Amino acid sequence: MSVTVEEREPATMTDTALVDVENVGITFQTRKNTVEALREVDLKVNQGDFVALVGPSGCGKSTLLRSMAGIIQPTTGTVSLRGEEIEGPRQDVGFVFQRPALLPWRDVQRNIMLQAEMRGMDKNQAKARCEELLELTSLTGFKKSLPHELSGGMQQRAALCRALLHSPEILLMDEPFGALDALTREHLNSELQKLWNSTNMTVVLVTHSVAEAVYLATRVVVMGSRPGHIIEEFDVDLPRERDYEATMADPEFHRVAHGVRELLGGAHGNH
C-alpha cells in the first residue's frame, strides 16, 4: 500500500524514554473501602517500542494505561512524556478503548473528524489525514456508512483512525480487539502490526491474549494481581516485520509465550 503515515526517527538505546513511569502507586477510595490498584510500578517505553501489558483480570493494566494517558493521576510517583510530567489528557497521546464508542448518528468520516473538532485542528489538513487513514485501514468505501452498518472489526478500525487523526506521539490501546471473533481479531492484529511497522509509531497495548501480546510486541510486560505490580519483562526477539503464520511457528514466539504463561499461572498469588 502506498499510503504514507507520519514517519518518526527510530529509537536508539541512548534515547531518553518517551514514557517514564516512576514508582507509581494508585489508590481509589470507594464508598465502602480503599482499593490499592497499583504499587511501586516502574516502566520505561522508548520511542518506536510496542509494549504489551498482560496480567490477571483486575491487576491494574487498564489503570496503568490510563495514567499514561493522563486520564487517572497517580497517588504516588510520576508518569512523564519526554521528561514532562503528564497532568491530564494531552495532544500527543492517542487512546483506543475496548469498545469503539462511535456516535451512532455520524458516519465513519464524521466520527473520525470528531477528533479534529475537539482539538481545533485545521479542517483541510484533518480531512486529508482522514482520507489517508481510511485508505490505510481499507475503510475508504465505507466513509459514509453509519456505525450500525459496519462489522465490529470495521467499527474498531474507525476508532483507530480517530485515535490517529492528530498524529499522536504514542498510541495507547485498552483491549481493543477483545470483543471480536478470533478470525477478525487475527486480521486486525496483522493490520496493526503492518501499521506500526510502517510508521515506527510507539504503542502500548493492554491485552488478555498471550498470543496477541507476543505476536505484536517488542516487549511483553507481565503484571501481578492487586496491588498491580510488574513481575517481569520479556524482550521479543522477532523481526520487526512479522507474518502471522511464520511468527506463530517461530521458536522465539513459543519461548516468550511459554515464559509469560508460566508467570501468569502463578500471578494471582505473586505479590
Same domain, 156 and 239: no
Give Cβ neighbours of residue 244 (< 8 Å, ≥ 6 apart).
186, 189, 190, 215
251, part of any domain: yes
- pLDDT given for residue 4 in this prediction: 38
- pLDDT given for residue 266 in this prediction: 58
pLDDT tens digit string along 180-213? 788 888 888 888 888 888 777 899 999 999 999 9
For the cut 60, the answer to whether the pLDDT of residue 5 exceeds it is no
Rounded distance between C-alpha atoms, residue 221 and residue 266, angstroms: 15
- pLDDT given for residue 267 in this prediction: 52
For the cut 80, the answer to whether the pLDDT of residue 8 exceeds it is no
What would the mean pLDDT of 38-66 be, rounded to a whole number? 92
Cis peptide before 251 (omega within 30 of 0): no
Same domain, 74 and 106: no
Rounded distance between C-alpha atoms, residue 239 and residue 109, angstroms: 34
Give the residue from 119, 146, 167 where a domain finishes. 167
Give the residue from 145, 167, 189 where a domain finishes. 167
Question: What total number of domains does the chain contain?
Answer: 2
Rounded distance between C-alpha atoms, residue 240 and residue 224, angstroms: 28
Same domain, 175 and 88: yes
Same domain, 175 and 163: no
Q: Where are the alpha helices (DSSP H) in 120-250?
A: 123-136, 152-164, 182-199, 210-216, 244-249
Give the residue from 144, 167, 190 where a domain finishes. 167
Q: How confident is the model at residue 1 (pLDDT cuts 50, 70, 90)?
A: very low
Rounded distance between C-alpha atoms, residue 166 and residue 113, angstroms: 10
- All three cell numbers of 151: 462489522
What would the mean pLDDT of 34-38 be, rounded to a whole number? 88
Same domain, 4 and 129: no
Where in the sequence is the domain holding 159, given as residue range(s)? 102-167
Same domain, 26 and 120: no
Same domain, 37 and 80: yes
Rounded distance between C-alpha atoms, residue 156 and residue 176, angstroms: 7
179, part of any domain: yes
Q: How confident is the model at residue 270 (pLDDT cuts 50, 70, 90)?
A: very low
C-alpha distance from residue 154 to each of 48, 124, 193, 225, 251 (Å): 26, 24, 16, 33, 32
pLDDT tens digit string along 218-260? 999 999 988 889 999 999 999 888 888 899 999 999 999 999 9
Rounded distance between C-alpha atoms, residue 199 and residue 170, angstroms: 11
pLDDT tens digit string along 96-142? 888 888 999 999 999 999 988 888 888 899 999 999 889 888 888 99
- pLDDT given for residue 3 in this prediction: 38
